[in-house]
Amino acid sequence: MRRVALPCGIAGGVWGLLAPVLVLLPVVTVGVTPPFPGGVGEEKMVSMVEAGTAGDTLPVLSFISLMGVLGLLAIVLSQRRPRLGGPFLWTSAIAMLAVSLVSIFSLGLLFLPASVLLLVAAIGLKGESKERRSLQIYYREF
């Protein structure tokens, strides 16, 4: 589990960090021409910015991005100070998971894998810190 913690934490953090880019990708379908009777109108994929709906989702995406930055910071801190990095990683993972579950029927489904990756990293780092403590106690006896 320890070997997967670092790559999972980095992948989850970067995934969350790139959340605001979603407003620039073509994900919304709009009708360009109105359908005429008996015909089908033309549809075009546009970004949320072009459709005018980016203002509604940008606060949620910014929060997820902030949690991604916090997750990456926690991974870096866990290499130098495991006791300090762990709480940051748990906070980031649980907050991102909560936002993903609350908005599961809209954008939350896109960030559910990132929150799961951060949870795996947090669990892996928790096991690593326990191992380090047991090794420190073992070496103090000698």
Query: For the segment 60-94, what is each residue's pLDDT rounded down to a tens digit?
Result: 888 999 999 999 998 888 877 767 888 888 999 99
Q: Residue 51: what pLDDT?
A: 75
Residue 28 pLDDT = 65
Contacts 24+ apart (CB under 8 A), 100-105: 103/60
pLDDT digits (tens, 9 = 90+) for 2-23: 678 888 889 999 988 888 887 7
Can you give the pLDDT at residue 5? 83
pLDDT at 139 over 60: no
What are the φ and ψ backbone dihedral angles of 103, each rounded to 5 degrees?
A: -105, 35
Is the C-alpha dihedral spanning 107, 112, 114, 119 positive or negative? positive
Which secondary structure element, helix H or strand E, spans residue 28, and what is its range? strand 26-31
pLDDT in tens, 97-127: 999 999 888 788 888 999 999 999 988 887 6
User: Could you tell me the pTM of the whole model?
Assistant: 0.73
Q: What are the tokens at 64?
A: 């997820």
Higher-confidence position of 9 and 54: 9
Q: How many CB atoms lie within 10 A of CB 131?
A: 10
Structural domain spans, the chain: 2-26+53-140
Dihedral, CA atoms, 131, 134, 135, 137, nearest 10 degrees?
160
Q: Is the pLDDT of residue 37 over 70?
A: no
The pLDDT of residue 94 is 94
Helix (H), strand (E) at residue 46: strand 43-47
Q: Cα-flanking dihedrals φ and ψ of residue 112, to 5°?
A: -60, -40
Listed in sequence order, the residues at least 6 apart from 138 whose beta carbon sits closer than 8 Å to its beta carbon are none
